[in-house]
């Protein structure tokens, strides 16, 4: 009896293996005839047998499933994902077939994704770049492109997923660039090594050299922090920036990102400290110096704020924000003078003090005027500044300038 049972099982196994081989050939035939729907249906019927298949038939199954869902490049977005997964599982003797399909996919996806990004179809580009990374996991640049497309297209969930993966992989985006100077434009342009050598040989470019690109890690963390903040996750945003700063403590962009997070959390002292640190790395950055002026003013450090605004104006004379804020600080001192003037009595001493305060007020007006006039030169349509100057000219007796401002306001319908 035992012998009969063993023979029965062996026969059953032989029949099962033969059935697998036959079904796979039928699938293969359907694919060759471009009848992909039939191929998918047959593969679905074969799937329950997969755990018991011999390895060589499993490899064949995965290859055919990849081909069926790829459908010579006509597969849907979801089908292409299925095709990639199955092609990755096809091993054994099918390496050439798998690589051929993958290369076709890479070429198609790269062209489509670039075109979609250039046409502002950012969400479609995300899918394409993600698939490219799936096909070539060693090239993390595609994952970076997917994240960047997602940010531009405001698909923040995809952006976070891809950015976090990039940080986990230690991606920096730093790469060797082969550059040469364009003879016609004088601009330095980057190429592949072979392209650069070709252009230099042709004479259109000169001064060939190699340079290393800047790290993209600061940009990644900055974007992640923005998204975290947008989602109300300020703690995660701060941790992300601080972790990146540990790896690159001299990156001024990261310092500024952390500073802004502290500012939004109400910690102006830490913000100020970090901005000062960033200025040491970039001493002529007028945006950073201006921000210190704003914080100093908010903290009641008026003279310090004036120093910062003066520095900005010396570096950038037409900076209307610094000019406006400087004038506002000067005119803000008027309130204390007016309050004291209104509190005086009618005695001789009070009258003398009143005249002193009035003179101080006039000096304030004269001090503010150059800054306001500078703003109006750059922004002649700035109604608020024009009206402030109108009132000051009237107060200090500058009749000619007062009339000129009136004409300006009338011409703009104000």
Distance CA 259, CA 238 (A): 10
Distance CA 191, CA 211 (A): 11
* pLDDT over 60 (residue 249): yes
Residue-wise pLDDT tens digits, 258-298:
888 888 888 888 988 998 888 888 899 999 999 899 989 98
Compute CA 201 distance to the chain's CA centroid, rounded to the nearest angstrom: 37
Distance CA 288, CA 279 (A): 7
* pLDDT over 50 (residue 9): no
The total of structural domains in the chain comes to 3
Mean pLDDT of 32-56: 85
Distance CA 234, CA 253 (A): 18
Q: Which pLDDT does position 4 carry in this prediction?
A: 40
Tokens 């299925």, residue? 82
Q: Last residue of a domain, which of 93, 108, 141?
A: 93
- 8 A C-beta contact, residue 35 and residue 72: no
Distance CA 199, CA 179 (A): 10
Q: Is 374 within a domain?
A: yes
CATH at residue 357: 1.25.40
Range of the domain at 181: 176-212
pTM, rounded to two decimals: 0.58
Instruction: Count CB-CB contacts under 10 A for residue 140.
Output: 18
Q: Which pLDDT does position 145 carry in this prediction?
A: 95
Q: Which of 114-118, 127-131, 406-410 has the lowest mean pLDDT?
A: 406-410
Mean pLDDT of 191-208: 90
* pLDDT over 60 (residue 14): no
Return the structure tokens found at 214: 């800047």
Residue-wise pLDDT tens digits, 51-88:
878 888 888 888 888 888 888 888 888 888 888 888 88
Distance CA 297, CA 286 (A): 16
Q: Is 23 within a domain?
A: yes
Distance CA 56, CA 364 (A): 90
Q: Is 381 within a domain?
A: yes
Residue-wise pLDDT tens digits, 336-365:
999 999 999 999 999 999 999 999 999 999
Q: Is 192 within a domain?
A: yes
Q: Is 154 within a domain?
A: no
Q: Is 288 within a domain?
A: no
Per-position b or e across 64-103, b if 16+ CB within 10 A of its CB: bbbbbbbbeeebeeebbbbbbebbeebeeebeeebeebbe
> What does the mean pLDDT of the chain come to?
87
* pLDDT over 90 (residue 17): no
* pLDDT over 70 (residue 10): no
């Amino acid at each position: 009896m035992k012998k009969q049972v063993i023979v029965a099982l062996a026969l059953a196994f032989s029949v099962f293996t033969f059935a697998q081989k036959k079904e796979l050939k039928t699938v293969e035939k359907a694919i060759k005839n471009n009848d992909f729907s039939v191929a998918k249906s047959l593969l679905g019927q074969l799937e329950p047998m997969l755990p018991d298949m011999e390895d060589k038939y499993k490899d064949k199954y995965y290859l055919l499933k990849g081909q069926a869902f790829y459908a010579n490049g006509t597969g849907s977005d979801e089908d292409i994902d299925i095709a990639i997964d199955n092609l990755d599982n096809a091993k054994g003797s099918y390496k050439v077939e798998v690589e051929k399909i993958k290369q076709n996919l890479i070429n198609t996806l790269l062209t489509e994704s670039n075109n979609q990004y250039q046409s502002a179809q950012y969400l479609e580009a995300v899918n394409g770049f993600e698939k490219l990374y799936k096909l070539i996991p060693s090239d993390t640049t595609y994952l970076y492109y997917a994240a960047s497309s997602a940010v531009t297209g405001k698909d923040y969930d995809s952006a976070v997923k891809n950015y976090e993966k990039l940080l986990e992989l230690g991606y920096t985006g730093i790469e060797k660039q082969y550059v040469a100077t364009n003879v016609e434009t004088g601009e330095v342009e980057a190429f592949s090594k072979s392209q650069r050598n070709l252009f230099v040989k042709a004479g259109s470019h000169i001064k060939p050299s190699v340079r290393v690109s800047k790290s993209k890690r600061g940009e990644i963390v900055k974007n992640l922090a923005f998204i975290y903040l947008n989602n109300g996750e300020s703690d995660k945003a701060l941790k992300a920036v601080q972790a990146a700063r540990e790896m690159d403590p001299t990156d001024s962009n990261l310092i500024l990102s952390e500073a802004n997070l502290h500012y939004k959390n109400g910690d102006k002292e830490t913000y100020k400290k970090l901005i000062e640190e960033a200025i040491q790395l970039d001493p002529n950055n007028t945006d950073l110096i201006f921000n210190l002026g704003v914080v100093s003013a908010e903290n009641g450090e008026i003279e310090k704020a004036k120093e910062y605004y003066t520095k900005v104006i010396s570096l950038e004379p037409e900076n209307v924000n610094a000019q406006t804020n400087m004038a506002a600080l000067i005119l803000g001192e008027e309130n204390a003078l007016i309050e004291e003037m209104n509190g005086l009595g009618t005695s001789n001493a009070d009258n003398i003090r009143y005249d002193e305060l009035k003179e101080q007020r006039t000096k304030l007006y004269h001090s503010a005027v150059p800054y306001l006039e500078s703003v109006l030169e750059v922004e002649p349509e700035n109604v608020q500044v024009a009206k402030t100057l109108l009132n000051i000219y009237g107060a200090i007796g500058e009749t000619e300038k007062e009339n000129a401002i009136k004409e300006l306001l009338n011409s703009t319908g104000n």
